[in-house]
């Protein structure tokens, strides 16, 4: 029991160190793939406590816009979030890495990932609750099924190393979460989504830490080969237009449904970092419908009916 208390007491420092290292690894590899643009770093502080390290890449050879951001914030939990968590006046600590990459080429998918840790304290400073969350998901504009299978197989392999039910459970949660209910279609082809991973009779907090960090370590294996394969394919202006229309659906999800955006806005997070996920060029055409039996229509059919990929 003493060992568990020591591990729990230092978990936030361990996880924050992990996401700092992961941010370095991801940004270095994306810069190498892009070959031109480099991430610009922006250090910021939050008046109520904490801050972050935002890294943004724009107008490169491969990446039109992307961000790989880390933050660690703390202080009194705002009233709106007290109501959300159904708690009284408490303090919190939250840290995480959040990334979105929007390639130029419409044949290359957008990718999103997030890995986070949260603690809640009473007014005496005693930790009342703690949990991990996160995941990674793919949003293609043109459907290359081998890419989606690779992404999901990478997710499944890391999940299977921890529990045989994790992949199916977290894949289904991803399909349910990243869904534009007002459009009756998924944002993309999914991946993993998990939240409120706490210690229980089956898993210690250390088990949860190992799982979440293994998922984080798998990100580059899941996405980089896809980006490398698709970044130089030929495309037409019409295909670029379709990409921008689909990016509009991405924006809709992030502004209407995403809990991370909501949490950031309601805890006085840094607006530029919260909204870095929005793509730079987007279209909303009135009642746009793709041609029947086209590649665009084939994508929509999958988004309307999420499927099993592995």
Q: Note the pLDDT tens digit of each residue in 153-206.
A: 999 999 999 999 999 999 999 999 999 999 999 999 999 999 999 999 999 999
pLDDT at position 2 over 60: no
Q: What is the pLDDT of residue 4?
A: 44
Residue 287's region, left for phi above 0, alpha for psi from -120 to 50, else beta, is left
**pLDDT per position as a tens digit, 239-288:** 999 999 999 999 999 999 988 888 778 777 788 888 888 999 999 999 99
Q: Report the 3 state secondary structure along the chain.
A: CHHHHHHHHCHHHHHHHHHHHHHHHHHHHHHHHHCCCCCEEEEEECCCCEEEEEEEEECCCCEEEEEEEEEEEEEECCHHHHHHHCCCCCEEEEEEEEEEEEECCCCCCEEEEEEEEEEEECCCCCEEEEEEEEEEEEECCCCCHHHHHHHHHHHHHHHHCCCCCHHHHHHHHHHHHCEECCCCEECCCEEEEEEEECCCCCCCHHHHHHHHHHHHHHHHHHHHHHHHHHCCCCCCHHHHHHHHHHHHHHHHHHHHCCHHHHHHHHCCCCHHHHHHHCCCCCCCCCCCCCCCCCHHHHHHHHHHCCCCCC
Report how far Cα 235 is from the mean position of its chain's Cα atoms. Answer: 27
Alpha-carbon distance values, 165 to 65, 66, 136, 168, 194 (Å):
35, 32, 17, 6, 13
Q: What is the pLDDT of residue 260?
A: 80
Please count the other Cβ atoms lying within 10 Å of the Cβ belonging to residue 154. Answer: 23
**Which of 102, 112, 150, 152 is the catalytic position?**
112
Q: What is the dotted CATH code of the domain comprising 2-304? A: 3.40.1500.10
Active site residue 288: no
Integer Cα distance of 5 and 160 in angstroms: 28
Q: Which residue has the tokens 């986070």?
A: 116
Whether 92 contacts 74, CB under 8 Å: yes
**pLDDT per position as a tens digit, 202-232:** 999 999 999 999 999 999 999 999 999 999 9
Q: Which residue has the tokens 């070959």?
A: 35
Q: Could you give the dihedral angle defined by the CA atoms of residues 38, 104, 109 and 52, in that order, rounded to the nearest 10 degrees?
A: 30
- How is the chain split into domains, by residue range? 2-304
Q: Would you state the structure tokens that stand for residue 297, as one six-digit string? A: 């229509």
How much is the pTM? 0.93
Q: What is the pLDDT of residue 274?
A: 84
**pLDDT per position as a tens digit, 41-76:** 999 998 889 999 999 999 999 999 999 999 999 999
**pLDDT per position as a tens digit, 83-137:** 888 899 999 999 999 999 999 999 999 999 999 999 999 989 999 999 999 999 9
């Amino acid at each position: 029991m003493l060992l568990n208390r020591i591990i729990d007491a230092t978990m936030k420092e361990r996880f924050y160190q992990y996401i700092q290292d992961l941010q370095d690894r991801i940004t270095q590899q994306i810069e190498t793939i892009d070959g031109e643009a480099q991430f610009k770093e922006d250090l910021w502080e939050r008046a109520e406590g904490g801050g972050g390290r935002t890294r943004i890449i724009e107008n490169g050879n491969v990446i039109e816009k992307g961000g790989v951001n880390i933050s660690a914030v703390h202080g009194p939990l705002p009233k709106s979030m007290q109501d959300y968590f159904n708690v009284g006046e408490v303090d919190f600590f939250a840290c995480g890495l959040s990334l979105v990459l929007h390639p130029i080429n419409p044949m290359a998918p957008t990718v999103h990932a997030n890995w986070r840790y949260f603690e809640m304290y009473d007014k005496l400073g005693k930790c009342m609750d703690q949990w991990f969350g996160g995941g990674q998901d793919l949003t293609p504009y043109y459907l290359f099924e081998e890419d989606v299978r690779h992404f999901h197989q990478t997710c499944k392999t890391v999940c299977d190393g921890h529990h045989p039910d994790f992949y199916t459970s977290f894949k289904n949660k991803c399909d349910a979460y990243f869904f534009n209910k007002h459009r009756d279609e998924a944002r993309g082809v999914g991946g993993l989504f998990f939240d409120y991973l706490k210690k229980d009779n089956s898993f210690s907090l250390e088990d949860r830490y190992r799982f979440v960090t293994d998922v984080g370590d798998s990100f580059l294996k899941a996405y980089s080969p896809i980006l490398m394969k698709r970044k130089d394919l030929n495309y037409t202006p019409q295909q670029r237009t379709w990409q921008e229309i689909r990016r509009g659906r991405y924006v809709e999800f992030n502004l209407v449904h995403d809990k991370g955006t909501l949490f950031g806005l309601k805890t006085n997070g840094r607006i530029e970092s919260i909204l870095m996920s929005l793509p730079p060029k987007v279209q909303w055409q009135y009642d746009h419908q793709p041609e029947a039996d086209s590649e665009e229509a084939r994508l929509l059919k999958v988004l309307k009916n999420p499927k099993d990929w592995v």
